[in-house]
Amino acid sequence: MGHHFPIVGWRNISCSPQNARIANAFKSRISQQGGGLNGCPRHASHLTAMKTILAVLLAFLAPCCGQSADLLMLNNGTVKVGIDPAKGGSITWLSWTTYSKNIVNIHDPGRLIQQSYYAGLPLDRKARGQSKAWSPWPWNPIQGGGVSSWARVTEFKRLDGNTLFAETVPKLWDMPNEEAAALMRQWTSFEPAMSNAVVVRCEFVSRRADNDLWGPAVPRHQEIPACYFTRNFSKVRSYLGDGKWREETQAPGPPWGRAKPPRQAMAFFAPNGQGVAVFSPAASQSWNFGPHGEGTSDNPTAAPCMHVAPIDSVALAPRSIYRYRYWLVVGDERKIVATLESLWMKYAKERAELAPFPATTSGRVHFRLELCGG
């Protein structure tokens, strides 16, 4: 007798980290079943049926999820945020009660919500395999990975019920598979007493040789952080304070548009009124922003997306440590405004910290932020 499976209902399967783990567990169960068949036709028939179910499940989930089964999540009842060890420990999931879909674009290693830094002279290394599209290019370690490979995570854990931690050996963006002489550390948690705000602490340790190809420190723009959202969050606004906004427009890029939000926050809204704001008080320059591609896709794995990057100007020495914090605020306009006002009151004077990398240590130093003037 053949096996028949109802098709109605498959489209109602939610694309979530939980379902990715279910698929992984189901795959493991199939392997266990397969190991004990001993040639039994009845068991073989059941195994074939299980494989068919798994194939359909993975075919549905893969295009929209793109998440590994090891995704670590935080959930405070309002917001869900997740980091993925298969994608450099970057933030690859962000959703909330009134917008249950993932808004983080994870199309390739250059997307995500991640750390990205620049240092030294731009070099033409095409003879060594450098991407022609990114040549010449400076030293540019990326948390997600290079143009065609994902970065390696060395530590990945839940520190307590409220904090996720990842340590990553980043890759150089312009190369297909070259690790940078650097470490990136990231602490992801919720801002106390603000249920719709995620706070992320970042630490970057540059461990380049003093006489390497890229040369000494030169001032360069740093993305603090680089953020990519799904394309449907296409309404861009800079926050001016006191509930006021400035509309921002930009043709699809790159090149990206530039904006200088006076309250160090830019927000992206979907047609249903739900939005995400990035608050980065350490930004010292105009921010990069804009759409990439056309349409209004809400698929996290699609090529079209929305981009924003608060910018700080820093001369990263070959051996140096750079630290900063940023916040992700979600919800409707009213909730975002209320939280941005609270964050501004508390953290408006917060700045990034740049320090020399101690030659006698591993670079693991106590994280602290300098509150300039306060």
Give the pLDDT confidence of 324-374 residue by residue, as tens digits: 999 999 999 999 999 999 999 999 999 999 999 875 444 454 444 444 333
Give residue 369's Cα distance to chain centre.
22
Q: 72-371: which CATH topology?
A: Beta-galactosidase; Chain A, domain 5 (2.70.98)
pLDDT beyond 60 at 133: yes
**131-140 mean pLDDT:** 98
7 or 89, higher pLDDT: 89
**235-263 mean pLDDT:** 98
How high is the pLDDT of residue 368?
Answer: 47
Band (pLDDT 50/70/90 cuts) for residue 29 is low
How high is the pLDDT of residue 161?
Answer: 82
Q: Using alpha carbons, select from 340, 320, 217, 319 the residue that is nearest to residue 275.
A: 340
Q: 84 vs 68, 80, 299, 347, CA distance in Å?
A: 7, 13, 18, 28
Give the pLDDT confidence of 141-178 residue by residue, as tens digits: 999 999 999 999 999 999 988 999 999 999 999 999 99
How high is the pLDDT of residue 43?
Answer: 52
Boundaries of every domain in the chain: 10-64, 72-371
Buried/exposed code over 135-168 (b: 16+ C-beta within 10 A; e: otherwise):
eebbbbbbbbbbbeebbebeebeeeeeeebbbbb
Cβ contacts of residue 90 below 8 Å, gap of 6+?
A: 83, 84, 112, 113, 114, 115, 143, 144, 186
Low-confidence winner among 155-164, 226-235, 306-315 (lowest mean pLDDT): 155-164
User: Do 80 and 95 form a contact (C-beta atoms < 8 A)?
Assistant: yes
